[in-house]
Amino acid sequence: MRPCFLVTGTDTDIGKTVFAAALVGALDGAYWKPVQAGLTGETDAKVVQRLSGLAGNRILPEAYRLSTPASPHIAAKRDGLEIDTGRLALPDTHLPLVIEAAGGLMVPLTRHVLQIDLFASWAAPVILCASTKLGTINHSLLSIEALRRRAVPFLGIAFIGEENEGSERTIIEMGQVRRLGRLPHLDLLDASSLRMAFDSNFCRADFVAEMPI
């Protein structure tokens, strides 16, 4: 069974796309963003292709490409449609698969389905990306609690940003979760520098299939 990981975040714009690019590049796998909300400029899939160094056929097509950068249920309504979660089945690939969520756990896909509900149905391990900035303790512990309440497999936390030893330790100890590593901000961000940063701060052996904690 090939490894499959769900990459989500405690908040928007914290660097989970960059982390997803680093992870899929390290695993030499495939990337999938089920719902892309916002098509102006470089989409998340394009960013991942550029930063992972993977060929274009490793970037799987989105199930939904929505025009507005907003919550998926709102973006879909503005495009005159409603997301059918039946179209969001896991892709069939023999490669390690990295799936990037649209924002955080409680983002609505429809008026009746939250993103975390889809995660629970997939039953693949979640990697929670958490910023090291002020507020991360609250956001992280709430996310951990939500995952556990729904019995979603949880691999661990990937911190993103400058070192914040006190906050990181508090989250790991109080949340009783695995610290996978911390991806620092990079002044020069390209495929080479990102791969080096991932290799220096994470252990590839931690990213194996079906090992929730």
Q: What is the pLDDT of residues 140-196, one digit of tens each?
A: 999 999 999 999 999 999 999 999 999 999 999 999 999 999 999 999 999 999 999
Candidates 16, 33, 46, 133; catalytic one: 33
Q: Is 33 a residue of the active site?
A: yes
Which pairs count as long-range contacts for 86-94, CB under 8 Å and 24+ apart, including other chains?
Answer: 87/63, 88/34, 88/35, 88/63, 88/118, 90/4, 90/122, 90/124, 91/30, 91/32, 91/60, 93/2, 93/30, 93/60, 94/2
**The pair of three-digit structure tokens given for residue 83, joined into one six-digit string:** 């997301």
The enclosing H or E element of 181 equals strand 179-183
Find the mean pLDDT for residues 187-211.
89
pLDDT on residue 11: 87
Pairing mode of beta strands 126-131, 4-9: parallel
- In this prediction the pTM is 0.94
pLDDT on residue 1: 56
Report which of 64, 16, 17 is spatially closest to residue 37, judged by C-alpha positions: 64
pLDDT on residue 12: 84
pLDDT on residue 213: 38
**The pair of three-digit structure tokens given for residue 79, joined into one six-digit string:** 């495009």
The SS3 assignment for 197 reads: helix
**The pair of three-digit structure tokens given for residue 5, joined into one six-digit string:** 């990981």
- How far apart CA 85 and CA 42 sit, in angstroms, is 25
Buried b (16+ CB within 10 A) or exposed e, 188-211: eeebeebbebbeeebeeeebeeee
